[in-house]
């Protein structure tokens, strides 16, 4: 589906990003495999995982290069985009996937824990996207046809909320909003922007699910990152040229459209605070309940 196309996948050394890179390559794309090789908390670096993915792609007859850029670094992200173009002659697909976790209740979270998670996820989406978008804008202004993709990675935690993840949830909600803006701004250039909110078993998620040793083979198969890569690969292909500004909730072989904020019930508002209560209470009674982590109405959640 992606024959002749060139992709960058960030955070591609392990987990969902690894599956993105492998599946894109299996469908004909040349892939720049980016991974800093940090720990789940974002500490340290290791080029090994990214090199292994490149070797696996090459062993299957595909084309790939390794990149160890820190996606929160503006200059390194620019050099990463330039590397993909230099290596393969073009850029068609950017999959922003790099992420870390530093879970903590909001009353215990440190400034460093907030900054690190928001930085890797939110700024780590902006920096590569900014440089890729500038390249595509230049191609469009030069009269060259552009059929490009930005595929971002949010989370159910960002769409619906999850205890202990104020930093991660805020960043992921921001990514969903960032996707909508990119779709509006880049559409005229021939670039679509979509977002995945995946549930899959990876090294980041396994501890939350009781640890690797407590995850059954059946659950591991049902929530394999491979399912997420299937959606991303279709979105990356020419077949998805008409799809933009959407957030896809992907859980195993189940896919749903996360429909986002909509203006709900409304009424006129009194001028005095003391008179506001009945109006607000009536609106709340008419409004759809907030969703639980499965994205379903949860009337008793709050």
Residue ranges, the chain, pLDDT below 70: 201-213, 220
Residue 67 phi/psi, 5-degree rounding, is -145, 135
- Structural class in CATH, domain 6-258: alpha beta
pLDDT at position 200, please? Answer: 76
List, for residues 138-165, the tens digit of each pLDDT value: 999 999 999 999 999 999 999 999 999 9
Alpha carbon separation from 183 to 70, 88, 236 (Å, rounded): 25, 25, 14
**What pTM was estimated for this model as a whole?**
0.92
Q: Which of 197-231 are b and which e, b meaning 16 or more Cβ less than 10 Å from the residue's Cβ? A: bbbbbbebbbeeeeeeeeeeeeeeeebbbbbbbbb
Percentage helix, strand, coil, to 5, in the chain?
A: 45, 15, 40
Burial tier of 90 (Cβ tally within 10 Å: 0-12, 13-18, 19+): middle
pLDDT at position 44, please? Answer: 72
- Average confidence score pLDDT of the chain: 93
pLDDT above 90 as % of the chain: 84
Residues recognised as catalytic: 155, 168, 172
The C-alpha atoms of residue 99 and residue 122 are separated, in whole angstroms, by 9
Domain segments of the chain: what residues?
6-258, 263-302
Q: Which of 72, 67, 70 is nearest to 82 (CA)?
A: 67
Are the C-beta atoms of 95 and 25 separated by less than 8 Å? no
Are the C-beta atoms of 86 and 25 separated by less than 8 Å? no
């Amino acid at each position: 589906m992606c024959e002749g196309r060139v992709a960058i996948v960030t955070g591609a050394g392990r987990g969902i990003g690894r599956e993105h890179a492998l599946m894109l390559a299996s469908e004909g794309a040349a892939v720049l495999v980016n991974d800093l090789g940090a720990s789940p908390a974002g500490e340290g670096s290791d080029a090994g995982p990214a090199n292994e993915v490149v070797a696996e792609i090459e062993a299957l007859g595909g084309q790939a290069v390794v990149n160890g850029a820190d996606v929160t670094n503006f200059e390194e992200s620019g050099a990463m985009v330039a590397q993909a173009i230099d290596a393969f002659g073009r850029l068609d697909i950017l999959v922003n996937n790099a992420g870390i976790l530093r879970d903590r209740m909001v009353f215990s979270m440190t400034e460093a824990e907030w900054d690190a998670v928001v930085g890797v996820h939110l700024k780590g989406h902006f920096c590569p996207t900014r440089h890729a978008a500038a390249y595509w804008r230049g191609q469009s202004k030069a009269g060259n046809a552009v059929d490009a993709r930005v595929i971002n990675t949010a989370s159910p935690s960002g769409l619906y909320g999850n205890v202990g993840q104020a930093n991660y949830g805020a960043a992921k909600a921001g990514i969903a909003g960032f996707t909508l803006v990119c779709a509006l701004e880049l559409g005229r250039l021939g670039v679509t922007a979509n977002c995945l909110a995946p549930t899959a078993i990876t090294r980041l998620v396994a501890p939350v699910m009781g640890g690797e040793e407590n995850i059954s083979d059946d659950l591991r198969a049902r929530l394999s990152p491979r399912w997420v890569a299937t959606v991303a690969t279709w979105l990356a292909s020419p077949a998805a040229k008409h799809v933009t500004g959407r957030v896809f909730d992907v859980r195993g072989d189940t896919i749903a459209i996360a429909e986002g904020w909509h203006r709900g019930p409304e009424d006129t508002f009194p001028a005095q605070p003391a008179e506001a209560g009945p109006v607000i209470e009536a609106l709340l009674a008419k409004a759809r309940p907030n969703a639980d982590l499965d994205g379903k109405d949860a009337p008793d959640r709050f």
